[in-house]
A and B are shown apart, each in its own frame.
Chain A
């Protein structure tokens, strides 16, 4: 089955700096890659996603890149703010089965 690995597990950055989280997946049939942000005690919130026919997608301060050949994708957060502090999860899904396989999560702390 699909396996998604996520690094780093924790990330501490100064406010205003950039943060990068990387994920690798094992199943080349995976074709949709969402990122979720989960604040303490709250639900996972879909913040950005990318499909396998796209190499990069940007939404304001966040961007996701996908390298299908290497089977890895990354989340980039620029100009980090304290409210970006949360746990971020990457995930992958195949065309069929509709089962999200999640990475282990990255705890991001933005220090003011």
Chain B
């Protein structure tokens, strides 16, 4: 079974630009989560998508947004990039927590975003 995949592996942008990160969940998983892992700050929850809808959002500004497609893959967009957005962005997926009573989240390898 293929795990969660993310692209690109690395992304270098300049301040003020926009970044788009992509995630494909494990087959059969319907929920996708995005987390930010900044150096020294641990893992911070960004967004949760389920069945194409945004279900929950962490304490991040509106310039962090995303969407989930009908095939359950997801995209994270970061607008007006700032230097402090440099981090590893991790995507995770899970089965439908409401239907399957499953809480387990499985992570992808991440996209390393560097803002210069």
| A contact residues vs B (CB 8 Å cutoff) | 32, 34, 36, 42-46, 49, 51, 89, 91, 93, 97-105
Contacts and interface: CB of A to CB of B under 8 A. Distances in A.
Contact of A98 (B43, B55, B108): B55
Interface of B: 4, 31, 33, 35, 42-45, 48, 50, 55-56, 58, 90, 92, 94, 97, 103-110
A106 to B, nearest CB: 11
B109 A98 contact: no
Given A32-B103, A44-B107, A104-B42, A98 B58 contact: no
Given A98-B33, A99-B56, A46 B42 contact: no
- The binding surface of chain B is classed by DSSP as strand
- The binding surface of chain A is classed by DSSP as strand
A99 B46 CA distance: 9
Contacts of A101: 45
Contact of B42 (A45, A49, A105): A105
A98 B107 contact: no
Nearest to A36: B107
B42 A34 contact: no
Q: Which of A32, A44, A93, A105 has the most B CB atoms < 10 Å from its CB?
A: A44
A97 to B, nearest CB: 5
A44 B92 CA distance: 10
A100 B33 contact: yes
B43 A89 contact: yes
Given A44-B90, A45-B107, A100 B42 contact: no
Given A102-B43, A104-B42, A97 B104 contact: no
Pairs of residues from A and B, 8 with the lowest C-beta to C-beta distance, nearest first: A102-B43, A32-B103, A43-B107, A99-B45, A44-B107, A43-B109, A104-B42, A97-B56
